[in-house]
């Protein structure tokens, strides 16, 4: 459990076990928004359009859980002799379909409640996503659903060299929040989120609303596992 105290400089800090927490960094897809099923549908539509068999949701989620990009996933499906141009064509089609519906995707239950709880405690909030979108696009999306004012910074995979499970996104997000990674809780739905946090001594919290099941998440030993995001306040009160 976590205790809260005033900081000398007028800010606030949470104590999680024996460490000070000044920020919470959230993944986006499967953690804050219910986008994964829509992404799955867009991918299969483009695969069928290109003459390939649809993939299973288990196959997609397993790959997303370990940080595979769309290109990485397609290279496991598209025969090598077809060439990168086919992979690029499918990728472009998937992204076009997905961006057309992205602003319609529902926010997962408990997100605003959790954000409001953290901001009331004076805790900074950052988003660190494996999406290659521009950060301004993500700001626009969260502003459109009335959540942007809770968020202090957004970092996307377009801004760093390596995707999760490498820790580049966590480090960059912490830098923008002006905190150390070890002063952050990192909340995500995938194995790659947990490994990225561990790599820089941040505190990983797994949420079971996305690509990886509770059983899979337990394999990488997050500090806590919550069934849905609004349970976070039970961990940090």
Note the pLDDT tens digit of each residue in 219-235: 999 999 999 999 998 88
pLDDT digits (tens, 9 = 90+) for 58-68: 999 999 999 99
Q: Apex CA 105: angle with CA 65 and CA 217, to 5°?
A: 20
pLDDT at 237: 65
pLDDT score at 15: 77
Q: Is the dihedral of CA 3, 234, 30, 208 positive or negative?
A: positive
Beta-ladder partners of 185: 24, 203
Which residues have C-beta within 8 Å of that of residue 195, sequence separation ≥ 6?
164, 165, 220
Residue 47, SS3 per DSSP: helix
Query: Is the pLDDT score of 44 beyond 50?
Result: yes
Of 210, 176, 196, 190, nearest to 32 (Cα)? 210
Q: What is the domain partition of the chain in residue ranges?
A: 2-34+106-236, 36-104
Burial (0-12, 13-18, 19+ Cβ within 10 Å), 126: buried
Q: What is the pLDDT of residues 6-40, one digit of tens each?
A: 433 445 777 777 789 999 999 999 999 999 999 99
Q: What is the mean pLDDT of residues 44-59?
A: 96
Mean of the pLDDT values across residues 144-162? 97
**Residue 105 CB: number of other CB atoms within 10 A?**
18
**Beta-bridge mates of residue 6:** 12
Domain spanning 2-34+106-236: which superfamily?
A: HAD superfamily/HAD-like (3.40.50.1000)
Residues 202-222: tens digit of each pLDDT: 999 999 999 999 999 999 999
Q: Is 211 exposed, middle or buried (0-12, 13-18, 19+ CB in 10 A)?
A: buried
Question: Residue ranges of the alpha helices (H) in 8-35?
Answer: none
As a whole-number percent, the residues of the chain with pLDDT over 90 amount to 86
Q: Is the pLDDT of residue 84 over 90?
A: no
Per-residue pLDDT at 116: 96
DSSP secondary structure letters along 65-86: HTT--HHHHHHTTS-GGG-HHH
Tokens of residue 149, six digits: 């004012």
């Amino acid at each position: 459990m976590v205790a809260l105290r005033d900081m000398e400089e007028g800010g606030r800090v949470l104590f999680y076990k024996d460490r000070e927490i000044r920020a919470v960094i959230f993944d986006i897809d499967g953690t804050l928004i219910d986008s994964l099923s829509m992404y799955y549908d867009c991918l299969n539509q483009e695969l069928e359009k290109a003459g390939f068999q649809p993939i299973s949701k288990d196959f997609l989620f397993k790959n997303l859980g370990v940080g595979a990009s769309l290109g990485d996933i397609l290279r496991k499906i598209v025969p090598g002799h077809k060439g990168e141009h086919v992979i690029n064509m499918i990728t472009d089609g998937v992204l076009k379909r997905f961006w057309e519906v992205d602003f319609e995707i529902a926010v997962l239950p408990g997100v605003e409640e959790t954000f409001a709880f953290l901001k009331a405690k004076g805790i900074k909030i950052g988003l660190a996503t494996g999406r290659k979108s521009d950060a301004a696009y993500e700001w626009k999306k969260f502003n459109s659903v009335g959540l942007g004012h809770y968020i202090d910074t957004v970092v996307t995979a377009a801004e760093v060299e390596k995707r999760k499970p490498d820790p580049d996104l966590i480090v960059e997000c912490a830098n923008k929040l002006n905190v150390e990674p070890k002063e952050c809780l990192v909340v995500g739905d995938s194995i790659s989120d947990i490994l990225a946090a561990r790599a820089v001594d941040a505190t990983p919290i797994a949420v079971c609303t996305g690509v990886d099941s509770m059983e899979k998440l337990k394999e990488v030993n997050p500090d806590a596992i919550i069934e849905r995001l609004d349970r976070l306040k039970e961990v940090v009160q």
